[in-house]
A and B are shown apart, each in its own frame.
Chain A
Amino acid sequence: MNVKNIFSLFLVFAILASAAAAIAQTNVGDTPVTSQNPQTSALEILKQKSETEIAQKLNKINEFLVRINLLKKISGAQKGAIQQELQSLAGTLDALRTKIIADTDLATLKKDALEIPKSSRIYLLIMPQAAIISFSDRALSIAEAMEKISEKLYTRINAITDDEIKSSAQENLTIFDTKISDAKTKAQSAVEIIIGLKPDGGNQTILKANNAALKSARAKIKEADADLRSARNAAGEILKALKARSEIKVQPQGNGQSTAPQN
């Protein structure tokens, strides 16, 4: 290859490379930002996506903060712990949203957007915690109301003179009381299981432990729910017995006997 050919090759190479640079420069660099600019478009899309996701999370967190503030049966310390976690996460997400809104270049925005999945790891722990605590509070409130109903039923059952009806009603009252007690124990246990959990921070061992704890608490919740429904069914049986008894009317019988309402 002579010198002339080498020079020609270099020249062609130079022209091609310059063309590539020219094409590339129409998309990035110091060109004015317009809506047609792919970088601007990507910036807007990612910004909108990030803002939407953060807003959804913040709405959910705020809903739980309102709900948890109204809980009655959960201890102040337990309420305070979960409220603090929720407020901290809300603060982090809010600061991230402010930063994302202010971002003007895609590289920074992408870096900030990557913080959302990181906060999601915390979100995915705190939100089930808040849901479990909310459930437990309602379950404990229902159990307390059932205990009051139990007292009323006890008085009514004691006044029954028909031994068979009384015995059956008492059995159901025992079931009622036992199920209420079991439900309370399980609801409280569910809260105790999840209240001390900390975000895993990417540690797989902690992540597994957290997931196992949440599942365990979830199982307790399901059992508490089933206990309360069993208690409700037992109360229904007692009410049926009481109602049937009071509906026995005085009826003239052929032998002159009558069946009177009992008690």
Chain B
Amino acid sequence: MRRILIPLLAACAAAGLAGTLYLVFYVTKLEQNLFFNQKIFYWHVPNWFMLFSMVFLCGGASIGYLVKRDPKWDDVAHAAGELAVLFGAIGLVTGSIWGKAAWGHWWIWELRLTTSLILWLTMLGYALVRRFAGPGSEPLCAGLAIFGMVNVPLVYFAVKLADKLGQASAHPKAKVVAQLDASMKGTFWLSVLTFAAVCALLFLVRIDAIRDARRLRAVRERGLDAGILEP
């Protein structure tokens, strides 16, 4: 199953990336207000979709792990947590480039930007703890992911409410997708699918590696416990 799925996803992702690049630059129309700057939107937004799906996958799997104590759930949370950091980083970089072009600033303290940055920092902390806490720290990491996930709406509302007296947000709203014309919309959703394929591919490869490492460790530990292997 995996043997077919992984090359298939890789092919889809490669074709999708090449295809969306072509569509973005040669087929879609220029946007009326932002002109050429808007092109980055096709790659920027799907990354945020992936970040948030990975964060909630990580948080959900962590709850599953704390309830069931099955290491499979921990593997899912581990892989999802790492991918959240990756997609968050891409989203922040592409967003900054867009921000510089559209607003003249690399960064502004706006609702979506602030929320995403804090979420990304949380996941970075999660990845750090994953890396340095060593074996036996799985429940700790699960706790961290749950706290981070619960924190997302709190941060969102805190920033939103703090902003309510300020000016209207400079960041495009979610409804811009609905206002796109057909070719733009098609390209956008193709791009989302492409990044979903990239994400699924990385997720599968990573979770296989994590699971294999865990199993190898378990076999070795069983040997040590049984006194067959000498340390």
Q: Are chains A and B native binding partners rather than an unrelated pairing? A: no
